[in-house]
Structure 1
Amino acid sequence: MTVKVGIVGATGYTGAELVRILSRHPEVELVALGTQSYAGQPFWVVYPHLYKYNQLTCVDAAQTDMLYSADVVFVALPHGHAMPIAVEAACRGKKLIDLGADFRLADYKVYEKWYKVEHTARELLADAVYGLPEINRKKIREAKIVANPGCYPTSVILALAPLLRNKLVDSGSIIIDSKSGVSGAGRGLSLGIHFSEVNENFKAYNVAVHRHTPEIEQELGKLAGEDVTVSFTPHLLPITRGILSTIYAKLSNLPGEGEIIELYREFYKDEFFVRVLPEGMLPQTKWVAGTNHCDIGIAVDPRTGRIVIISAIDNIFKGAAGQAVQNMNIICGLPEDTALVGAGLFP
């Protein structure tokens, strides 16, 4: 089968990564690349690394023609922009994968509180499925709207899922310390991501108020079967790609490190894209760069009774575009790893 795909917001970093992946997808035909800034220009002029890999010309993102020609529409825009597109896609019977935040939170009031935007497509929230394949694969298969997870939440939820599902940690004790590369801030110009501001620097930001917090708590609560409140602090690293999350939690009892690792391996035994590392081996962002993998390492501290879980992903790949294609493969009945398999780039 051939899946016709349109991308709205194709010229941001996440959109460009979608184009790169889908241009090599054997079952996909890219039919429209929508942009707010580069309409009328060949895509490869905007992103020369795709010269000879994609020959499409960018179109105005406001045009709705792609909703006629595409089977699946990806929306790679900031929060607040996917809602009208989702309404139109639903009317036309198209599948939609939103890489923004508009459909991640089940309660529109929570969304409006954290994102300061009115939710204008509340009637579609019940149709949206949180698109973390390793947890929600069965629901994704039948989804009309897939809410692609945030990059930080992906690294956190996969790291904690086996423990919360098996009630091995105190769900009120979770502390999340995450660091991201600068590409997570997008391609737009901003003083905070100016080279001389970021280079040779390391900083925390949005402490106690980051918008991924309610998303993390919502999905961890589903796994735990109870409300979960976390302390989440993101940091900005002077690197282009990657997220490293270090998570601390109080163990309900004190199993050994090897026992915990075996639990993780059993939980993820059928998940190619989650790599549970051997005892004593901890993830690095370099190992997952350019891949759809999430690497997880574990250490148990018997002195404090805490477990430390470390996860690493590529924020643009598994944290965004790669996971979105993984979701598309699932809803279209294609092999889930199509166009996504490959080891990372090193060094």
Structure 2
Amino acid sequence: MKVSIIGATGYTGAELIRLLTQHPQVEVEIITSNSFVGKKISDIYPNLTGIIDMKCKELNVEEIAEKTEVAFTALPHGVSMDIVPQLVERGLKVIDLSGDYRYQDLDTYQAWYKEHSSPELLAKGTYGLAEYNSLKIKDSSLVANPGCYPTASLLALMPLVENSLVEKEGIIVDAKSGTTGAGRKLSRGTHFSETEGNFKAYKVANHRHRSEIEEKLSLAQTDDVQLTFTPHLLPAKRGILATIYADLACDKSTEELIHYYHEFYDGANFVRILDNKLPQLKYVVGSNYCDIGVKVDQERNQVIIISAIDNLIKGSAGQAIQNLNLMAGWDETPGLKQIGMYL
């Protein structure tokens, strides 16, 4: 299968290229970049030297439609919505990694992002949380890859929320991310001298990923779910660790909930439920795994769920490839068999 990557020189685009070079059934045919037209991708990311040395092209929708079957759009929020309709119109399958098609509710998207220029496609897109939505993804021509924080949060919470095992109010998501979550664009807050030896919360009470998590949990619960979401910036390159607190709606022990998680994710290739330890970034960074640990505080009838992912892989490029595999009717795992880099 021949694919194109639109916006190939950001961190997500570069990860897509790196992972897809190891995919036995995929050939990267076209890569585009507004900033580096004519430059070899291996000059921008020298780790690709001798592996993939193709040049970045200007965006040409007609050429992409003619030469490729699937397009990954690794573009900023608000930019994808102008490109994706052109690709869908020409019969391509599209996996969009921006936030532009993640929401079912137009008003929610526009409240947190900007006015949407192609709202008609919101209903046609499928939310690409692979472990939860695999059947719909298989039949979809437009998949909206989830955000990195929502991936870690939803995989941890969906089993409990969907089955009304926790109260729908009072959920707290306390999440920490490495600096690559902010993308490649320079900003003062992600400079080495600002982050090294530091740890801080940001966008407290107004991070837009809260709305994404709330919408998907509310759809699973068929009722409004409200939560507190606080993101933090780690002095690390990559990885997300989310610590989540929720009040139990019934009496359950740690062992009972762990058994329940095992049943819920039975057969899931990339979700690991840890029985006797709690997740750490070292277990997952460099891989497409999401590790989940569960602990019940019986005195407070509260459950604490901890999840860990690599934000650039399971939270972005890896999940996009997992969705590609589903859309193509393949096993989920090609291109994604890397083990986490413990050291």
Q: If the length of structure 2 is used for normalisation, what is the TM-score?
A: 0.98
Q: Give, in whole Å, the separation in 2 of the partners of 1:232 and 1:192.
A: 20
Q: Residue in 1 aligned with 2:204?
A: 207
Identify unmatched segments of 5+ residues in structure 2.
Answer: none
Q: Which amino acid aligns with 2:101?
A: F
The sequence identity of aligned pairs, in percent, is 49
Alignment partner of 1:221 is 2:221: no
- Superposition map of 1:258-277 within 5 A: 258-277=255-274
Cα pair 2:162 2:217 within 8 Å, conserved: no
Q: Give, in whole Å, the separation in 1 of the partners of 2:66 and 2:111.
A: 34
Quick one: which of 74, 80, 83 aligns to 2:78?
A: 80
Q: Give, in whole Å, the separation in 1 of the partners of 2:139 and 2:202.
A: 37
Q: Give, in whole Å, the separation in 1 of the partners of 2:62 and 2:184.
A: 24
Q: Give, in whole Å, the separation in 2 of the partners of 1:61 and 1:21.
A: 22
Q: Give, in whole Å, the separation in 2 of the partners of 1:169 and 1:91.
A: 42
Quick one: which of 2, 15, 18 aligns to 2:16?
A: 18
Q: Give, in whole Å, the separation in 2 of the partners of 1:146 and 1:338.
A: 18
Deviation at 1:225, TM superposition (A): 2.0
Identify unmatched segments of 5+ residues in structure 1.
Answer: none
Quick one: which of 294, 299, 307 aligns to 1:303?
A: 299
Q: Give, in whole Å, the separation in 1 of the partners of 2:11 and 2:24.
A: 22
Alignment partner of 1:38 is 2:36: yes
Quick one: which of 48, 51, 56 aligns to 2:49?
A: 51
Cα pair 2:61 2:86 within 8 Å, conserved: no
- Superposition map of 1:163-242 within 5 A: 163-242=160-239
Deviation at 1:198, TM superposition (A): 0.6
Instruction: Please state whether the residue corresponding to 1:126 is helix, strand or coil.
Output: coil
Deviation at 1:254, TM superposition (A): 2.1
Q: Once the two structures are superposed, what CA deviation does each residue of 1:27-52 show, in whole Å capped at 9, x if it has no partner? A: 11111111011110111011000111
Instruction: Please state whether the residue corresponding to 2:123 is helix, strand or coil.
Output: helix
- Superposition map of 1:35-184 within 5 A: 35-61=33-59, 64-115=62-113, 117-184=114-181
User: Given the superposition, is the C-alpha separation of residues 87 and 242 from structure 1 closer, same or farther in structure 2, using an over 3 Å criterion?
Assistant: same
Q: Which amino acid aligns with 2:112?
A: W
Q: Which amino acid aligns with 1:244?
A: L
Q: Which amino acid aligns with 2:121?
A: L
Deviation at 1:165, TM superposition (A): 1.9
Aligned residue pairs total 343
Q: Give, in whole Å, the separation in 2 of the partners of 1:334 and 1:255.
A: 38
Q: Give, in whole Å, the separation in 1 of the partners of 2:105 and 2:62.
A: 28
Q: Give, in whole Å, the separation in 2 of the partners of 1:88 and 1:268.
A: 36
Instruction: Please state whether the residue corresponding to 1:248 is helix, strand or coil.
Output: strand
Deviation at 1:55, TM superposition (A): 2.2
Instruction: Please state whether the residue corresponding to 1:341 is helix, strand or coil.
Output: coil
Cα pair 1:6 1:67 within 8 Å, conserved: no
Q: Which amino acid aligns with 2:230?
A: T
Q: Give, in whole Å, the separation in 1 of the partners of 2:299 and 2:33.
A: 54
Q: Give, in whole Å, the separation in 2 of the partners of 1:53 and 1:218.
A: 41
Deviation at 1:154, TM superposition (A): 0.2
Q: Which ranges of 4 or more aligned residues in structure 1 deviate by more than 4 Å? A: none
Q: Give, in whole Å, the separation in 2 of the partners of 1:78 and 1:175.
A: 28
Instruction: Please state whether the residue corresponding to 1:201 is helix, strand or coil.
Output: coil
Greater shift, 309-318 or 121-130, is seen at 121-130
Q: Which amino acid aligns with 1:276?
A: I
Q: Residue in 2 aligned with 1:322?
A: 318
Alignment partner of 1:7 is 2:15: no
Q: Give, in whole Å, the separation in 2 of the partners of 1:25 and 1:39.
A: 25
Q: Give, in whole Å, the separation in 1 of the partners of 2:153 and 2:42.
A: 34
Q: Which amino acid aligns with 1:152?
A: Y
Instruction: Please state whether the residue corresponding to 2:203 is helix, strand or coil.
Output: coil
Deviation at 1:61, TM superposition (A): 3.2
Q: Give, in whole Å, the separation in 2 of the partners of 1:227 and 1:346.
A: 39
Deviation at 1:62, TM superposition (A): 5.8
Q: Give, in whole Å, the separation in 1 of the partners of 2:51 and 2:342.
A: 23
Q: Which amino acid aligns with 1:297?
A: G
Q: Once the two structures are superposed, what CA deviation does each residue of 1:78-112 show, in whole Å capped at 9, x if it has no partner? A: 10111121111111110000001000011222111
Cα pair 1:8 1:74 within 8 Å, conserved: yes
Instruction: Please state whether the residue corresponding to 2:197 is helix, strand or coil.
Output: coil
Deviation at 1:259, TM superposition (A): 0.6
Please, what is the CA RMSD of the aligned residues?
Answer: 1.0
